Amino acid sequence: MEQEQYKTLEQQVTPPTPYLKNAIKAFIVGGIICTIGHAITYFYIIFFDFTEKTVGNPTVSTMIFLSMLLTGFGLYKKLGQFAGAGSAVPVTGFGNAVISAAIEHRTEGVVLGIGGNIFKLAGSVILFGVASAFFVALIKLILVSIGVAQW
Amino acid sequence: MVIVFQTKPSILANGAVAGPLEKKSVFYSYFDSIVEDERWNQKTNEQGHSKMILEACEIVMKKADIKNTDVDYFLSGDLVNQMTPTNFAARDLAIPFIGLFSACATSISSIIVASLLTELGASQLSVAGASSQHNAIERQFRYPNYYGGQKPATAQWTVTAAGYALVGKHNPEYPSVVAATIGKVVDYGDTNPFHMGGAMAPAAFETITTHLKQRNQKFHDYDLIMTGDLGKIGLQILKTMFVQSGIKQDELQLLRDAGAEFYGEDQAFLAGASGAGCSAAVYYSYIIQQLKTGRFKRVLLCATGSLLSPLSFQQGESIPCTAHAIELTME
Amino acid sequence: MIFMDFLIAFVVGGIICLIGQLIMDFGKLTPGHTLSILVVSGSILSGLGLYQPLIDLAGAGATIPITSFGHSLTQGAFAEAEKHGWVGVLTGMFEVTSSGISAAIVFGFIAAFIFKPKGKVN
């Protein structure tokens, strides 16, 4: 059988990706996680003296602490299978990527195992975030220097 | 290429061991032992994997009332890098050992080599088979076990199980290996590691077709043709390929897949079971038992394997696959 | 009005996640690729001055998705570049504490000593 023929056959038999269902699940779960985060910001503003500008840090830290618990008890994995991007895109997903790698590689020791592997999944986010910020700032700086833009 | 065994080596004993999740398997009652801790109470998954192999081999030897010193060769492999768990188990077994890597087809390739050594007269008794441990393989090939990734409906679950057989000189009271086909590597350009069934089906088609043609046989010469771990979707693809090549529906009923049936209808396991331990545990428990009781007289066991590595996937390569088959009869 | 506040957070957060899901499904990309695309998008939107208004509108709906990492890092670089020019572009990014990254590292380290991975099925 030719490769082209096989590809057609394979496509006919394989169930298609449930695009709509996945999108709806991602929307709902992502929305819920952000809503929980929103509730936490209210909590910090009301009961502690954080302002709208400074509440971001404790909120994100709290969310990641929660993601540690969910990851450690194997619950984030179930959430991820259901929600896809709905659980991967929020910072809790970033936390899950780092924490699950750390837990998994404990067997190789603290230095080489945890230390060497903790950013296996999340490293690309940090790399691209930093690199992107660098280039965007550089471009802005150039534009400001030649008088086209302002800070 | 098809090998015909003139001396018809026999499978004198068999053993299958599985982990706690495999209690959900439809083949559960055929396994010799189910362990509560998937790590076999060891510190790491890989050490647990090793202990599982040891336990399965010890069950096989106990059933045949022999010791490791009576065994000439140990032929086996697994999916972990450099087959580490099997290497360490081989150290503890202290039997002359050659490691084999045919991915999930190792369950059959090891029996083929053992049968060749027996036919040659170089081996009186050999232990052969394969195994897989879910956690160790998941973290190596895919993601850390607690990572919240989303798997598609075509993905399969790697089983924690080991299946081994004792291959020796012909004995009419036991199932015998009469022929075998060593498969070529087939690559139809599939690149999706979450759809192994689709990648492996062409290899199974090629090996089964070659075996039947060179042996001058048809589907109806067999009571069962069972592939290793194509999964529910891979099995459908294979059946469609056979239909397109002229096989009839009544013949297709004889075609089954260990991976597709392993966990029954439980949707949580997506397209079914996979792993070297999947075919090994089912073949060397359920199949052997059915042959011994006379329910099956002639079977073709065709295990499939995906020959990719985590690196080849990252480097954008496709997934080359292979399939090896043995023909077992019971007189 | 507090309800409206929460609703907007829900909708905006949900939409960003939905975009991520579409990138993964249609683009056939891994989560790693998808998140990298989103963090860069956050950084670019931040550079164009569009991300802060989104935060003002949606609160946690914009600060919780990974896109906000891109925003924080870019704003940090901007703040320092404004003050110190060329050198500021490099030093600025880590001035703004990325609490997300620090928290993930610390909790990951702690978790590694408390939890042992099991093969759980869904």
The domains of chain C are located at: 2-114
Distance in Å, alpha carbon of C51 to nearest chain A alpha carbon: 13
Hunting for tokens 């067997």 — which residue is that?
Answer: A107
Could you give phi then psi for residue B25, rounded to 5 degrees?
Answer: -80, 145
Check whether A13 has a pLDDT greater than 60.
yes
Are residues B147 and A101 in contact, defined by beta-carbon separation less than 8 angstroms? Answer: yes
Which residues, in sequence order, are CB contacts of B251 under 8 Å at separation 6+? Answer: B218, B219, B220, B242
Looking at chain A, which subunits does it touch, using at least 3 CB pairs closer than 8 Å as the criterion?
A: B, C
Element (H, E) at B75: strand B73-77
Closest chain C C-alpha to B258 CA, distance in angstroms: 19
Query: Which of B134, B168, B202 is at the close of a domain?
Result: B168
Statement: residue C122 has pLDDT above 60: no
User: In this structure, is the dihedral angle defined by the CA atoms of residues B111, B117, B118 and B124, taken in order, positive or negative?
Assistant: negative
Residues B192 and B162 in one domain: no
Structure-block tokens of residue A121: 């999944």
- Shortest distance between the Cα of C28 and any Cα of chain B, in A, equals 10
Query: How many Å apart are CA C110 and CA C112, to the nearest integer?
Result: 5
State the pLDDT confidence band at C119, using cuts at 50, 70 and 90: low
**How many distinct structural domains can be found in chain B?**
2
- Using CA atoms, how far apart are residues B144 and A102, in angstroms rounded to an integer? 9
The distance of Cα A116 from the centroid of its chain, to the nearest Å, equals: 20
Residue B160: give the domain boundaries: 2-168
Contact B164, B58 (CB under 8 A): no
Q: Taking 90 as the threshold, does the pLDDT of residue B89 lie above it?
A: yes
Residues of chain C found within 8 Å of residue B135, distances taken between Cβ atoms? 117-119
Q: Tell me, what's the ipTM?
A: 0.93
> Residue range B322-328: average pLDDT?
97
CB contact under 8 A, C111 and A17: no
Q: Specify the pLDDT at position B110.
A: 98
Q: Which residues of A touch B233 (CB under 8 A)?
A: 13-15
* Of residues C58, C77, C108, nearest to A134 (C-beta): C77
Does residue B21 share a domain with residue B124? yes
Give the nearest partner residue to B198 out of A10, A103, A121, using CB atoms.
A10
- Out of B145, B168, B191, pick the residue that ends a domain: B168
CATH code at position B9: 3.40.47.40
- Give the integer Cα–Cα distance in Å for C68 and C73: 9
For C27-98, where are the alpha helices, taking DSSP H only? 31-47, 51-58, 60-63, 67-84, 86-91
Query: Residue C98: which pLDDT band, with cuts at 50, 70 and 90?
Result: confident
Question: Are B140 and B194 within one domain?
Answer: no
Q: Which of B46, B147, B188 sits opposite A3 (nearest CB)?
A: B188
- Do residue B141 and residue B27 come from a single domain? yes
- Interface contact A15-B244, CB threshold 8 A: no
Same domain, B152 and B187: no
Hey, are the CB atoms on B149 and C121 less than 8 Å from each other? no
From the list B21, B146, B149, the residue facing C121 with the nearest CB is B21
Separation of alpha carbons B14 and A90, rounded Å? 50
The distance of A102 to chain B (nearest Cα, Å) reads 9
Q: Is residue B156 over pLDDT 90?
A: yes
Provide DSSP, B238-293.
HHHHHHHTT--HHHHTTEEEHHHHHTTT-GGGTT-EESHHHHHHHIIIIIHHHHHT
Closest CA to B259 of B237, B234, B228: B228
State the pLDDT at residue C87. Answer: 84
Please choose, from the candidates C52, A141, C74, the residue with its C-alpha nearest in 3D space to the C-alpha of residue A151.
A141
Q: What is the pLDDT of residues B181-230, one digit of tens each?
A: 999 999 999 999 999 999 999 999 999 999 999 999 999 999 999 999 99
Q: Distance (Å) from the C-alpha of residue A59 to the closest C-alpha of chain C? A: 9
Of the three residues B115, B134, B168, the one that is the final residue of a domain is B168
d(C-alpha B301, C-alpha B211), whole Å: 11
Cβ contact B244–A9 (<8 Å): yes
**Across B259-268, average pLDDT:** 94
B13 and B161 housed in the same domain: yes
**Mean predicted lDDT score pLDDT of chain B:** 96
Instruction: Indicate if the alpha-carbon torsion angle A35, A17, B144, B33 is positive or negative.
Output: positive
- Together in a domain, B129 and B23: yes
CB contact under 8 A, C74 and A137: yes
Q: What is the pTM of this model?
A: 0.93
- What is the arithmetic mean of pLDDT over B57-85? 96
Average of pLDDT values for B110-125? Answer: 97
